[in-house]
Amino acid sequence: MVERYLVIDRLKLTYEGLFNVDELHNLISSFFYEKGYDWYEKMNQVMVTPSGKQMQIILEPWKNISEYYKLIVSIKINIIDLKDAEVRMGNSVLKTNQGTLRMVFDGHVISDRKSKWSQKPLYWFLSILFEKYLFKEHYGKAERWLKNDVEDLHSKIKTYLNSFTHAYGR
């Protein structure tokens, strides 16, 4: 039976101010491309309201790390009251966005990703024993790998957003 272990539970990031939505999306997608993940954009929804755009994006990139384990990172992005903004820096004008960004990260390790061990009751029982006693080190390695990737992405996004705050003084 495919088991889905929650490793990272609702790691949050909130930001209000100037940022560029396209650059943020490119930062996230290029991060996962560099790490060897396959891209899956579950939802991308935009609603235009009088106060600005409301965007909801759900990303679920995944990576097969072995024949048995799979890593899934779930990122829920909510952007509230997104408006276009122009910032003057000397003689040039930079077109960017302003709004409130809320992100939630979840990380899962999937075992028996091909469901080979859930076809017969004896196989299922053996898979439970193997996971508890023989594959403990492999699961720990998958867990550490997932935690490092999510923490690295979280810090890169925070650095990107802080660069906007320091560069444009808002």
Residue-by-residue DSSP string for 44-64: EEEEEETTEEEEEEEE--EEE
C-alpha dist (Å) from residue 112 to 38, 115, 169: 18, 5, 50
Nearest of 167, 6, 160 to residue 73 by alpha carbon: 6
| Domains of the chain by residue range | 3-168
Instruction: Tabulate helix, strand, coil % of the chain (nearest 5).
Output: 40, 45, 15
Residue 23's pLDDT is what? 93
pLDDT in tens, 62-108: 999 988 889 999 999 999 999 998 888 778 888 899 999 999 999 99
CA–CA dist 158, 163 (Å, integer): 9
**Residue tagged 């996971």 (tokens):** 131
**Is the separation of the CB atoms in 70 and 143 below 8 Å?**
no
Question: What's the DSSP call for residue 74?
Answer: E
Per-residue pLDDT of the chain (170 residues; tens, 9 = 90+): 578 889 999 999 999 999 999 999 999 999 999 999 999 999 999 999 999 999 999 999 999 998 888 999 999 999 999 999 888 877 888 889 999 999 999 999 998 766 666 677 777 787 777 777 777 888 899 999 999 999 999 999 999 998 866 666 55
Q: What angle is formed at CA 137 by the lines to CA 147 and CA 67, rounded to 5 degrees?
A: 80
CA–CA dist 157, 24 (Å, integer): 8
Copy the structure tokens of residue 48: 């235009």
**Is the separation of the CB atoms in 105 and 154 below 8 Å?**
yes
139 φ, ψ to 5°? Answer: -65, -40
Copy the structure tokens of residue 41: 């954009």
pTM: 0.86
